[in-house]
Amino acid sequence: MSTVAKIMNKKPRSVGPKTSIASAAKTMRAARVGSLFVKKGRQLVGVVTDTDIVRRAVASGKPLGKLTVEKIMTTPICTIEGSQPVDDAQDMMADLGVRHLGVTSNGEISGVVSVRDLLLHYKRYAQSKISTDVSYSEPKISQD
């Protein structure tokens, strides 16, 4: 059984609450991620996602260079313990309607897991299952 800690991003990106939406979007693009934690000093205060940017910022029609992350971030952050099975993360995301979860270890955020991480995990699992099934198949020889 794979755990969330095994598939999570161990180095989640973060921005400050006063970061402009435009700057946050550029950070996401450069890092090729769909979410950023929002930190005020060392304290984690929220999360902003690409979906938040589209639905709450772009759709508002306000200038993205002036609108800040703290105005659209999600708080509190939905979290899951890193020792939980990957399937639990999938269920939690579906139940809560989110695509990113903070991953905790001993009560502290240690990473982030996304829908993309789940898809890659299940893809690798399916490929290994197919590979295993194919390698253990015995040839069928006709007895004509």
For residue 77, is it within any domain?
yes
Q: Which of 82, 78, 96, 89 is nearest to 117 (CA)?
A: 89
CATH for 10? 3.10.580.10
Residue 4 has pLDDT above 90, yes or no: yes
Q: Which of 10, 8, 21, 5 is nearest to 100 (CA)?
A: 8
Residue 136: predicted pLDDT: 57
Residue 131: predicted pLDDT: 66
**CA gap 50, 33 in Å, rounded:** 9
Contacts of 120 (CB under 8 A, 6+ apart): 7
Residue 120: predicted pLDDT: 95
Residue 69: predicted pLDDT: 97
Residue 7: predicted pLDDT: 97
**CA gap 54, 66 in Å, rounded:** 15
Residues 35 and 49: beta-carbon distance below 8 Å: yes
For residue 138, is it within any domain?
no
For residue 141, is it within any domain?
no
Q: Tell me, what DSSP letter sits at residue 93?
A: H
pLDDT, tens only, 11-34: 999 999 999 999 999 999 999 999
Residue 139: predicted pLDDT: 61
For residue 140, is it within any domain?
no
pLDDT, tens only, 49-108: 999 999 999 988 888 888 999 999 999 999 999 999 999 999 999 999 999 999 999 989
Residue 135 has pLDDT above 70, yes or no: no
Residue 66: predicted pLDDT: 86
For residue 34, is it within any domain?
yes
Number of domains in the chain: 1
H/E stretch holding 130: helix 115-135
Residue 134 has pLDDT above 70, yes or no: no
Q: Which of 107, 143, 105 is nearest to 5 (CA)?
A: 105
For residue 64, is it within any domain?
yes
Residues 86 and 3: beta-carbon distance below 8 Å: yes
For residue 82, is it within any domain?
yes
**CA gap 20, 30 in Å, rounded:** 15
Give the domain extent around 18: 4-133
Residue 144: predicted pLDDT: 62
For residue 144, is it within any domain?
no
Neighbours of 72 (CB within 10 A): 20
pTM of the model: 0.82
Residue 65: predicted pLDDT: 84
Residue 107: predicted pLDDT: 86
